[in-house]
Structure 1
Amino acid sequence: MLTTKISSLALAAALLTSSQALAWGQNGHRIVGELASLHLTPTTQNALLPLLEGDSLAEVSTWADEMRSDNSTFWRKKSSKWHYINVTDAENMHKHVHHDVSSKEQVKNVLDGMYYGINVLKSDKSSLNEKRFALRFLVHLVGDSHQPFHAGRADDHGGNKISVTFFGDKTNLHSTWDTRLIENERLSYTEFTNFIKTSNSAIIEDYLNSEPADWLLESHHIAENIYNLNETDISYGYIYKYMPTVKTRLQQGGIRLAGLLNQIFDKNAQPLKEALKTSNTATLNN
C-alpha cells in the first residue's frame, strides 16, 4: 500500500539507502545528457571540451552513480545525500536554497549539490579537477531533480520501501520510476532522445523559465499525487497513464541542463531561448 504517513520529514533527512541515490537508471540519465547536448551554444560546447575529456554529457551523466563503488569515505558514506531532498514544507522549497554552497561539506541534499556544482564551475579559483568533478555531478543531479521520488518522502526512502508489482514481478515504486518504465519502451537512449527532442520555442521558453528549486517542487507534487493514488499493480494502464509524465520530465531535464550550462559558460546565451531565466539567483548571474 502507498498509504504511508509523512512523519518526521526534514531537510536532509537521515541518510537513506543507497538505492534512493539511483535515479532514472543509466538510460534515463543518458537521455537527459544527450538531449542537453542538442541545446548547447557553440561557446558552451567549447568551454566543456577540457572538462569532458573526450566524453559526452550522456557518457558522464551516470558517473556519480558509478563512483559509488569507490572505497573512499566520500563516495561510500557522504555522497548519497547529494541525490535527493525531503522537506515538510515543500511549498516553501525556495527557502531551502543556499546560493553560496562552495564546499562538499556544505552539501546536505540535491539542491545544495546543484548549487555547489554551479559555484565551482563559475569560480576562477576552482581547479580543473574540481570543475570536472562539479560538471559530472551537476549533470547527474539535474537528472535526479526531475525524477519525482528524489523529492519524495523520507519515511519510505523515496518509494524504495513501497512494494509494487510490474507485470507480476515484485519490485518497488522507486525502481519502477528509475528504470522499469523507461526500459519498458525498449529504446536505446539515443532513440528515446530522438523521440522526445523538441525545437518548439514555446515549450523551451516555458521549461527555461525556472530554477532548480522549481524542478524539485514539480517532482514533489508528482510524487505526492502518485503516493495518494495508491496504485501497486503496475501494468499497461499505469504505463499509458504515466509515460507522458516520464517523457516530459526527461525532456525538461535535458533542456534545463542545457539552459543551466549555457547560463554558466556563455554570457551571450539568450535567456528563455538558450539559457535559464536571468532572474534566478545572484549566484547564477555572476
Structure 2
Amino acid sequence: MLGKSSSLIFALSLALLPVKEAFSWGQNGHRIIGEVAEAHLTETTKTKIVALLEGDSLAEVSTWADEMRSSSDVFWRKKSSKWHYINIDNPEHMHEHVDTSIDSKEKVKHILDGMHYSINVLQSKSTSIDEKRFAFRFLVHLVGDSHQPFHAGRAEDRGGNKIKVKFFGSDTNLHSTWDSKLIESENLSFTEFTRFIQTDNAEVIAEYLDSTPADWLLESNHIANVIYESNETDISYGYIFKHMPTVKFRLQQGGVRLAGLLNLIFDPNSKPLVSSLKSVEKNTVNH
C-alpha cells in the first residue's frame, strides 16, 4: 500500500492530468474531516490503526481514494467511481434496501455499499493487512464523501456536475462549487479551518453519533434537494454567506462521525454516543 512518498507521487501525477469531473470535497475538505476526527479517536483506536496508516495521518490518507484514480489499474480507472456517490430515488424507503453484508469489491454498487464493504473487511479476522489498508483508506474517504451533499444528488445532472454556474464570474459547475470553491473561499489551511470548527460539546457530539451511514446520505440528499430548488447560478458573497454554515456543519459532522465509526470498529470499550456511533446499521456491528 501507499506510504507518504508514494502518496506524493500520485498526488503530483493527478495534478498533471486533465480533470474530467469533480472529485469529492476537494483535498482540503477531506483533510479537514480527517483532522477533526483525529481529536476524537480513543487511545485504543489510535494504537490499532497505526499499522493501517503506515506513518500517515487521517488527514493525509483521506485523499488517497481520489489520488488513486490516476492509476492505470482497471479498478481505479473503470470501477472505483461508483464507490463515491449514490443516487437516491426514494429517500423514504432507503433504509429498507441497505445491505450491510457486502463482502466483495465486485458487489459494491454505490458509496453506501463501499462503506459497508470496508467496515466488513476491517472487522474480519481473515482479511489480509493489505486488504485492511485498502478498506481503511477508502472508508476514511467515503465517510467524507457521504457528507458532501452532491454525492447523494440527482443522476440526471451527475450530482450537480452538469449544472453550470458562475463563481465570481468564472465558469464552473455546482458540484465543483461545493467540493472545493466554497471551502477555498475562506482562505484557510486545513489545519486552520479545523481549529475553527472543532467541537468538544458533548451534546452536539452525541447527536452526531446517533446516526448511521445511510442517515448521512439521506441528510446529504435533503441538503442537495434544497440547493437544487433554490436554483442559484450566479455565486458570490451572498451565496457564501448563506451556505458556508452548512459547509462547516457537514465537515464537523463528518469528522466526528468518522472518529465514531473508527472507534466502534477498533475499540470495544468505546462508549456509544460519547466516543463511538451507536451502531452502523440497526445494530449490525458488534464488538
Relative to the length of structure 1, the TM-score reads 0.92
Q: Structure 1 residue runs of 4+, over 3 Å off?
A: 278-283
Is the 8 Å Cα contact of residues 100 and 283 (structure 1) preserved in structure 2?
Answer: no
SS in 2 for 1:99: coil
In 2 relative to 1, CA 68–42 (structure 1 residues): closer, same or farther, beyond 3 Å?
same
The one-letter code sitting in structure 1 at the alignment partner of 2:98 is: V
Percent of aligned pairs sharing the same letter: 67
CA distance in 2, matches of 1:133, 1:120: 9
The residue that corresponds to 1:19 in the other structure is 21
| Equivalent in the alignment of 2:81 | 80
> Secondary structure, in 3 states, of the residue corresponding to 1:29?
helix
1:78 & 1:251 partners in 2: Cα distance?
29
Instruction: Give the deviation of 1:279 after TM superposition.
Output: 7.5
Give SS of 1:285's match: coil
1:226-284 Cα deviation digits (max 9, x unpaired): 00111000011100000000000000000000000000000100000000014844432
| CA distance in structure 2 between the aligned counterparts of 1:280 and 1:74, rounded to whole angstroms | 27
Match of 1:136 in 2: 137
CA contact (8 A) 2:210 2:277 kept: yes
Q: Give CA deviations for 1:157-211 in whole Å, capped at 9, x if unaligned.
A: 0000000001111100000000000000000000000000000001000000000
* Equivalent residue, structure 2, for 1:57: 58
Q: Which has the higher contact order (CA 8 A, sep 6+)?
A: 1
Q: TM-score, normalised by structure 2?
A: 0.92
5 Å-filtered alignment, 1:1-286, equals 19-20=21-22, 22-278=23-279, 280-286=281-287
SS at match of 1:245: helix
Q: C-alpha separation between the residues in 2 aligned to 1:92 and 1:258?
A: 27
The question of whether the paired residues in 1 share the 8 Å contact of 2:100 and 2:281 is answered with: no
CA pair 282-273 structure 1, distance change in 2 beyond 3 A: closer
Equivalent residues of 1:86, 1:151 under 8 A apart: yes
Taking the aligned partners of 1:242 and 1:71, their CA distance within structure 2 comes to: 37
Gaps of 5+ in 1: 1-16
CA separation of 1:41 and 1:213: change in aligned 2, threshold 3 A? same
Provide the aligned C-alpha RMSD in A: 1.2
Contact 1:120 1:131 in 2 (8 A): yes
What's the counterpart of residue 4 of structure 1? none
**Aligned to 1:199, what secondary structure does the other structure show?**
coil
Cross-structure match for 1:7: none
Query: Aligned pairs, how many?
Result: 269
Q: Is the 8 A contact 2:38 2:58 kept in 1?
A: yes
TM superposition shift of 1:92? 1.7
Cα distance, 1:88 vs structure 2: 1.0
Q: CA shift at 1:18, angstroms? A: 5.7
C-alpha deviations, 1:81-122, integer Å up to 9, x for none? 000000211122212311100110010000000001100000
User: Quick one: distance in 2 between partners of 1:32 and 1:95?
Assistant: 29
5+ unaligned residues in a row in structure 2: which ranges?
1-18
